[in-house]
Amino acid sequence: LEPRLNETQLRYKDIQYFFSVIYGNFQGAVQYSDDNVAGYRRGGNIRSVCAIMTNSSLTYLDRIQQVNIYMTEFFGQPFYSTFNDYDELIRVLQDETYDIYGEDAAFRSWIWQTCTEFGYFQSTDQGRNIFGSVTPDNLYIDMCIDAFGSAYKVQAIENSIHKTNKYYGGRAHFKGTNVVLINGNVDPWHALGLYSSIQPSVVPILIAGTAHCADMYADATDDLPSLTAARQTIEDNLNKWINGKAARKATNQMRKLVTKRKPFMSSLMNLQLKPFKEATSETEVVPSHIPKFFMGRPVRGFIGEPGVPSKIVDYPKDFIAGTITMPVDHFDATNTNTFQQRYWYNPQYYKPDGPQFLYIGGESTADIKWVTNPDVQIMSAARKFNAAVYLLEHRYYGESWPTPDQSTENMRFLSSKQALADLAQFIMTMNKQFYANPRWITFGGSYPGMLSAWFRQFYPELSVGALASSAPIEAKVDFYDYLIVVENSLRTYSPKCANNVKVAFDQLHNLSLTPDGRVQLSALFTLRPAWTTTSNVTYVDIQNFFMNMYGHFQSAVQYNNDNRGAYATGGGMRELCGFMMNDAKTPLQNLVDVNVYMTKFFNDGVFEYTDNNYQNYVNYLKDVNAKSSSRSWTYQTCTEFGFYQSTDIGDNIFGSPVPLNFFIDMCTDVFGARFTPQFVFNAVEETQKYYGGRDYFYGTNVLFTNGNIDPWCALSKYDGTGSVTTIMINGTAHCADTYPPREQDAPGLASARQLAEEKIAEWLGT
């Protein structure tokens, strides 16, 4: 290596760049394998590198070394050393001199386009793979910043890529005609190709056994039959375009994808009311060692309990707890299984001809305080508009279970599509039994906010409007934006606090590199199981530890000063930054204090140790009989949404310790080998295609509210037009507008709540 690793600073980027250089040999061999160009038919291909890697006379490390030498010499250069200088690479990229014959100028130009239009960063963020978890997106994001300046941070890159996709449509919204799109299935770039189109003149071809642009090179006698056939298809289409009829005008790729529900007749049954105090205290029982905040979600759900005023000691008059019979599968007519879904009804403010308000239950046990506390948003609006108020528990949460257990097979009936169909079935049943002229408005925050908005998009005939608070309708596998907002919120609160967090996490990184350093970390944070000098500490162990540490700051920012539970008086940026700015201690010692404080915050004031066992959490999620909301929600992230909060954001205060791999591996570990990276990416892409994300949201009469402190605002909608209204509330966090008002509220909250009531009046025509 030139320079040797021990001659570098061993920054994240130094280690990441080294690995990218080594596995880059395999990228080149695969990408051009057997292409009829530059000698790839004779060597430098998959056969060549695999012959070395299967040579049992060499150690595995020696095989990697020999591949490195072979690929260097394949390109016509004698091997002397392996270039390993990230800083020298940046100096080359920073050279603005244009050289018509040199490679450096072209290199700078292309890297510029990746940073400003395309991305295309080839990270190892793909779950378990043969190269490991070694090079996250951070390396390439840092490269953009280091080469072109601080304006090219991850958010700028993300915005540029978003504009590119919106302008050209990506593959889901491609509008071209008379196009043949050819890819080889060996070529890594084919993963971003287009393979289906509603345009008859758009012809996708995936050529079996070929690599990058194989169809463009000269014919060879040993060409694969699939390549010969592809060239014939190209020729046929050229002839058609030149001599045939003009193609029909392009139409939007977006189709109405609503899945048709089967006919079903529901029945209602009243339940005996539990004692009020017991009912308002109902919550999921969670083992004490389980992390209380994980993947941006408190262990008992995104929406916290709003509390009930002390003067409210019993149910309102005529309050009902009941169940509705629901189909396990709304879309399969051959599946006749049903289940009982819980709901609650509060008529205390209802008057004849009044509207109906439905609070949508989310990924936790339904909390009846949302329909009994007179000061929460939905109840305050019900009082003003004389509305009947309902709460429907989400399937696979609380006590609404379509199947006997949570086996992966049984969980196939858990999806947002099924949940939306539940809402539709519930409303139609209530209309049939009780309302001649119904006017339903749905309320939801966080995931239920997504459902509230999507209900207007897919079932507009069943409601007149929707409130969607902190609703991230943009599904995304690598939700690195989350930690950008966390850092920005901390910096806005106190630059010193954010800087000290960075110093502390840099120290964590340095200590995590050596056995002695890990022993020190173990003692500082009271880790269980403890790390010793002989512990076999894996990538996952390190990633799990770091995620638990920065999770404290996620929680503090996400619910900062929300008027909900303990967050109303603590657990926010004020408290954590108070620790981090203690000049009597080092930033690392301050982080230790943050860890103790947040553990006590979630654990009734008790701190015994820091659970540091990834497998413990996986085992908890794998329990198919626990009726765990965390298992259900994790399943939805793996099969629909992603939302994985990695540190893949370039230079940031937390470093580069937790790549996307960590979360995708968890899908595999919890739900089985079928849940590969490709499965997760395809699932999220299907969600985007079905719902349209924020760019192709077609609902009407929707109010999207977000707080600019809340990290989830990054995936919500904030460019509403027509009857879709969007508002960003300055200085507030997750779903803040849904909780009861108080004197300490940020000024923008009152106006946001007022706007919500104005929109409700508009939708109701009052």
Indicate which residues carry an active-site annotation: 446, 710, 734
The residues facing 204 across adjacent strands are 181
Distance CA 533, CA 517 (A): 9
Is the previous residue joined to 529 through a cis bond, with omega within 30 degrees of 0? yes
- Neighbouring CB atoms inside 10 A of 415's CB total 18
Contact 190, 212 (CB under 8 A): no
Tokens 């990834």 — which residue?
614
Handedness of CA 512, 516, 518, 520 (dihedral sign): negative
Which residues partner with 94 through β-bridges? Answer: none
Query: H or E element: which one contains 478?
Result: strand 476-478
CA distance 749 to 735: 11
DSSP annotation of 744 reads T
Q: Is 191 helix (H, G, I), strand (E, B) or coil?
A: helix
Q: How far apart are CA 86 and CA 564, in angstroms?
A: 47
- Nearest CA to 737 among 564, 577, 535? 564
Query: CA-based angle 59:63:66, to the nearest 5?
Result: 135
Q: Which residues contact 318 (CB under 8 A, 6 or more apart)?
A: 347, 348
Euclidean distance between CA atoms 762 and 718, whole angstroms: 20
Q: Rounded to whole angstroms, how far apart are CA atoms 423 and 388?
A: 16
CB 726 within 8 A of CB 719: yes
Any idea of the CA torsion for 13, 19, 25, 28, to the nearest 10 degrees?
-50
β 356-360/440-445 pair status = parallel
Structure tokens at 585: 């201690």
User: How many alpha carbons fall within 13 Å on the CB side of residue 277?
Assistant: 3
**What tokens does 639 get?**
């099969």
